[in-house]
Amino acid sequence: MSVKSQSKKEDLLRVAGEIFFRQGFAATGVKQIIDEVGIAKGTFYFHFSSKEEIGIAWLKAANDNWNAAMAEKLDKANSPRDKIIALFSMLEDWIKTSDYRGCAFLNSLAELPQPEGLMREVVREHKESLRAEVVGLTRAHFSDKSKVYADHKAYVIYLLFEAALVESQNSREDWPVKTVHQELLAILS
Amino acid sequence: MSVKSQSKKEDLLRVAGEIFFRQGFAATGVKQIIDEVGIAKGTFYFHFSSKEEIGIAWLKAANDNWNAAMAEKLDKANSPRDKIIALFSMLEDWIKTSDYRGCAFLNSLAELPQPEGLMREVVREHKESLRAEVVGLTRAHFSDKSKVYADHKAYVIYLLFEAALVESQNSREDWPVKTVHQELLAILS
Amino acid sequence: MSVKSQSKKEDLLRVAGEIFFRQGFAATGVKQIIDEVGIAKGTFYFHFSSKEEIGIAWLKAANDNWNAAMAEKLDKANSPRDKIIALFSMLEDWIKTSDYRGCAFLNSLAELPQPEGLMREVVREHKESLRAEVVGLTRAHFSDKSKVYADHKAYVIYLLFEAALVESQNSREDWPVKTVHQELLAILS
Amino acid sequence: MSVKSQSKKEDLLRVAGEIFFRQGFAATGVKQIIDEVGIAKGTFYFHFSSKEEIGIAWLKAANDNWNAAMAEKLDKANSPRDKIIALFSMLEDWIKTSDYRGCAFLNSLAELPQPEGLMREVVREHKESLRAEVVGLTRAHFSDKSKVYADHKAYVIYLLFEAALVESQNSREDWPVKTVHQELLAILS
DNA sequence: AATGAATGAGCCTTCATTCAT
DNA sequence: CATGAATGAAGGCTCATTCAT
């Protein structure tokens, strides 16, 4: 029962996802993907009807993976406060391991000008669910405060999360992560 | 002394910049630019040695325009606090007028994976100078507080500025702008 | 004893034939055929060794169907004259029901440049047998005239038949059919 | 002042036209055309924006060439009767010199199922103008008969012309030409 | 300064066919 | 009988760039 190559389609999605993230969706050709997987052109189009389709599959898988990792990480934290902090700990890890390539979803957002596209839809949904998560945790943490107050703080926390991703990618320094980490602790008092 | 078409090179840069911003740098072909300007291929390459070069010129011009507009707007404000608020007022205006296409610099950042490129350098410089501006104003505002305190607040303000750009682009709603506006006022107390 | 789907091979041939006629043999892909039938690629190549083979089978079946319909129609007519007129009545019906797609055989003729191909052979045979039918009927009608005279008239009738097919397809009007109908009656005096 | 290669665009159109006629429009690839002309892909698309465009240009040029040759040939004939006969003499020549590839317009008609296409439009126009020519000549010939009578005869003559083209292509024999020639003389009495 | 013809590698996608299961 | 994964050549077309004029 080998670890590698459970199926060509999975291989394709995994390899394509890596390249898409590394060098961008538009900048990646189907040729490069199939060469790196070691399959023929026709095999690619047997499994995915278009480049956009594998792009959507890539973002959906990235969303699923993130949600799974997040659920696992947050389960280990006890209080809403600890869960929020755990979220930012994931962010720090990601920025380090991703070689400052930033966020696959935000990068795709920038590459895709038309807001009507299917990939853009996946981006919106991913960010919306992340924001909902932050809102839920923040409301729980500020259960003694008004919902208006808690939601405002939640939005700020979410925005800082996003900004850390983008500014780390741009500056390739660690001040964004440190700043949001410190501000987060202040917000959660 | 006609207003339009001061020089072919300026026309080129202006038109190319509009298209780059609207549909992305990589997604824009040289053909489309020359067709919209109404010049020949050779003329393009007489004025700009490559597509990257006009890309760099575009971002540099965008940086200059931003700085000029910022200087003008901030001159009209009296206190550092008012200047910071004026900065966010510019942000709000931009987001509305740009049809949620976000920030030319951050979009280019996402499109250009290699951190060594010249365009990436312009992006870094632009954002670095914006951050320096925020730091200067914030230090002036918090002149009674420590520099460490002021700088932390400056970074937070800057990150919220960036996040508002990105999240407005993604959601096409106005909650990001409203959130950062409210938080800014709280930070400046 | 169900009417539909007597066998996969028959389904294949029927569906492929409909598509070939509607959009042309060369313009039709094997994928479209199997998708519309609802079978796998391998099943197609189990029943037909190549696309050309199903093309040949299509034309042979179309020839058989035409001959059967013609035999039935002509049996109901008593005189050679009435049989010839019945033939043109079939033509009129065909042009109307086929949505002016013309003649499967003549269309294939145009698509297949090499005169040596097997499909071209089927086309030739079909048209040759139709011409022979017209010759037989015309000789019977003109039994009091010389064979040379009758054969010439037969060829003219056959050519008008063919022209009506082609020109109806091109013009999508009914003047070709009306013209040949009127001329036929004149020829048969 | 060399005879060959007056311009690359003319070369392209001439060579493409020859191949289109020889092996069909759909069956001809852009690659084959540029290889035979000896130019690069980009040059093809510099001169023609699509394969369909060069297809349209090919049919329009064929139509122009036919009309020019027809005008020249008919000018030399004195009576309407001689002009019609001259038309059929052109037909005979064409069938022999074209190696029985038939009519570029009718072949394109068969290859292009959608009646809305631009190429189909050119086909219709070509045949319509040929029919109008035959009608004009036939009315002149039958100036003592009614217009209804003359027009009917004109349509028959036109249909025989078309049928000769198609049936010669199919049979690769000369009976169609001989039959229509003989019938034409009978019609013109 | 400006033109526009020419290049050829590359784009995404479809093709008819094969074959292990 | 039937499946569906795999092939690789070919499809039409766009790309940034060069260069003679």
C114: region left, alpha or beta (phi > 0 left; psi from -120 to 50 alpha) = beta
Interchain CB distance below 8 Å, B113 and A127: no
A104 close contact with B: CB closer than 8 A: no
pLDDT digits (tens, 9 = 90+) for C104-119: 999 999 999 899 999 9
* D156 contact C CB<8A: yes
Instruction: Calculate the alpha carbon distances from D183 to C152, C188, D102, D189 in Å.
Output: 8, 15, 21, 9
- Is C24 within 8 Å of chain D by CB? yes
Say if the Cβ atoms of B170 and A24 lie within 8 Å: no
Does D123 contact C at CB distance below 8 Å? yes
List the CATH code of the domain at C1-48.
1.10.10.60
Helices vs strands, H then E, count in chain D: 9, 0
Please say whether the structural domain B55-187 has been given the CATH code 1.10.357.10: yes
pLDDT-based confidence at A6, cuts 50/70/90? low
- Which residues of chain C have a CB within 8 Å of the CB of D91? none
> Which member of A124, A171, A172 has the closest CB to residue B171?
A124
Q: Give the residue-averaged pLDDT of B1-9.
A: 64
Q: Which residue is nearest to nucleotide E4 (CA to C1')?
A: B40
What are the chain B neighbours of A124 within 8 Å (beta carbons)? 170-171
Q: Does A95 touch chain B (CB under 8 A)?
A: no
Task: Work out the mean pLDDT of chain B and round it to a whole number.
Answer: 95
What is the predicted pLDDT for the residue at D6? 65
Q: Which residue of D has its CA nearest to C183?
A: D156
Which CATH class for the D58-187 domain? Answer: mainly alpha
Out of 1.10.357.10, 3.40.50.11030, 1.10.3720.10, 3.40.190.10, the CATH code matching A56-187 is: 1.10.357.10
| Inter-chain touch A170–B27, beta carbons under 8 Å | no
Show residues of chain B in contact with A171, CB under 8 Å. 124, 127-128
Q: What is the mean pLDDT of chain A?
A: 95
The reported pLDDT for the residue numbered A2 is 38
Residue B56 pLDDT exceeds 90: yes
- Which residue is closest to C119 within chain D, CA to CA? D170
Predicted confidence at residue A5, as pLDDT, reads 57
Distance from the Cα of B3 to chain A's closest Cα (Å) equals: 31
Average pLDDT over residues C145-157: 98
Helix (H) / strand (E) containing B48: none
pLDDT score for D8: 87
* Residue C110 burial (C-beta neighbours within 10 Å; 0-12, 13-18, 19+): buried
pLDDT confidence of residue C8: 84
pTM recorded for the entire structure: 0.92
Q: Across residues B156-164, what is the average pLDDT?
A: 98
pLDDT band at residue B2, thresholds of 50, 70 and 90? Answer: very low
How close, in Å, is residue C186 to chain D by CA atoms?
A: 11
Which of B27, C112, C145, D172 has its CA nearest to residue A112? B27
Comparing A7 with D179, the larger pLDDT belongs to D179
Nearest nt (C1') from D30 Cα: F12
Q: What's the topology of domain D7-49?
A: Arc Repressor Mutant, subunit A (1.10.10)
Tell me what pLDDT residue B121 has. 97
Nearest-neighbour CA in chain A from B169: distance (Å): 8
**At D3, is the pLDDT very low, low, confident or very high (cuts 50, 70, 90)?**
very low
Provide the token pair at C61.
């079946």
The residue count of chain D comes to: 189
Q: pLDDT band for position B10 (50/70/90)? A: very high
DSSP 8-state secondary structure symbol assigned to residue C38: T
- Report the residue of chain A nearest B119, measured CA to CA: A170
Kindly report, as residue ranges, where domains of CATH 1.10.10.60 are found in chain A. Answer: 1-48
Interface size between A and B, measured as CB pairs under 8 A: 119
Length C41 CA → F6 C1' (Å): 12
Answer whether residue D2 shows pLDDT above 60: no
The answer to whether residue D1 scores a pLDDT higher than 70 is no
Nearest nt (C1') from A40 Cα: F7
Confidence of residue C5 (pLDDT cuts 50, 70, 90): low
pLDDT at A7: 86
Across the interface, do D124 and C26 touch by the CB < 8 Å criterion?
no
Largest CA distance in chain D: 60
The confidence score (pLDDT) of residue D127 equals 98
Q: Using alpha carbons only, give the angle A120, A173, A58 rounded to the nearest 5 degrees.
A: 25
Residues C158 and D160: beta-carbon distance below 8 Å: no
Chain B touching partners, 3 or more CB pairs below 8 A: A
Of C111, C155, C164, the CB nearest to D24: C111
B172 reaches A (C-beta below 8 A): yes
Residues of C in contact with D156 (CB under 8 A): 160, 179-180, 183
Of D155, D167, D176, the CB nearest to C175: D155
Task: Give kind and range of the element (H or E) at residue D138.
Answer: helix D118-141
| D59-112 pLDDT tens trace | 999 999 999 999 999 999 999 999 999 999 999 999 999 999 999 999 999 999
Q: Which residues of A touch B166 (CB under 8 A)?
A: 106, 109, 162-163, 166
Q: Does C152 touch chain D (CB under 8 A)?
A: yes
F4 nearest neighbour residue (CA to C1'): C40
Would you call D180 and C166 a contact, using CB atoms and an 8 Å cutoff? no
The 10s digit of each residue's pLDDT in A27-78 is: 999 999 999 999 999 999 999 999 999 999 999 999 999 999 999 999 999 9
Neighbouring CB atoms inside 10 A of B172's CB total: 13
Q: pLDDT tens across A149-162, in order?
A: 999 999 999 999 99
CA of C50 to C1' of F7 (A): 17
Close Cβ partners of B58 (under 8 Å, ≥ 6 residues apart) = B13, B16, B17, B20, B25, B104
> What percent of chain B has a predicted confidence (pLDDT) above 70?
97
Q: What chain D residue is nearest to C161 in terms of C-alpha separation?
A: D163
In chain B, list all ranges with CATH 1.10.357.10.
55-187
Sign of the four-CA dihedral A34, A40, A42, A48:
negative
For D153-178, the pLDDT digits (tens) are 999 999 999 999 999 999 999 999 99
User: Cβ D26–C22 below 8 Å, yes or no?
Assistant: no
Average pLDDT rounded to a whole number, residues C2-27 = 87
* Tens digit of each residue's pLDDT (9 = 90 or more) over C31-86: 999 999 999 999 999 999 999 999 999 999 999 999 999 999 999 999 999 999 99
Q: What is the pLDDT averaged over residues B140-153? A: 98
**What is the nearest CA distance from A2 to chain B, expressed in angstroms?**
33
Quick one: average pLDDT of A174-183? Answer: 97
| Nearest residue of chain B to residue A103 (CA atoms) | B110
Tell me the chain C residues in contact with residue D169 when contact means C-beta distances shorter than 8 Å: 109-110
Contact of B162 with chain A, judged by CB distance below 8 Å, is answered with: yes
> How far is residue C124's CA from residue C113's CA, in Å, rounded to a whole number?
13
Closest nt by CA–C1' to C49 = E17
CA distance C140 to C117: 35
C-alpha D151/C-alpha B10 separation (Å) is 66
Instruction: Provide the residue type at C57 as one letter.
Output: A
Q: Does the distance separating the beta carbons of A109 and B170 come in below 8 Å?
A: yes
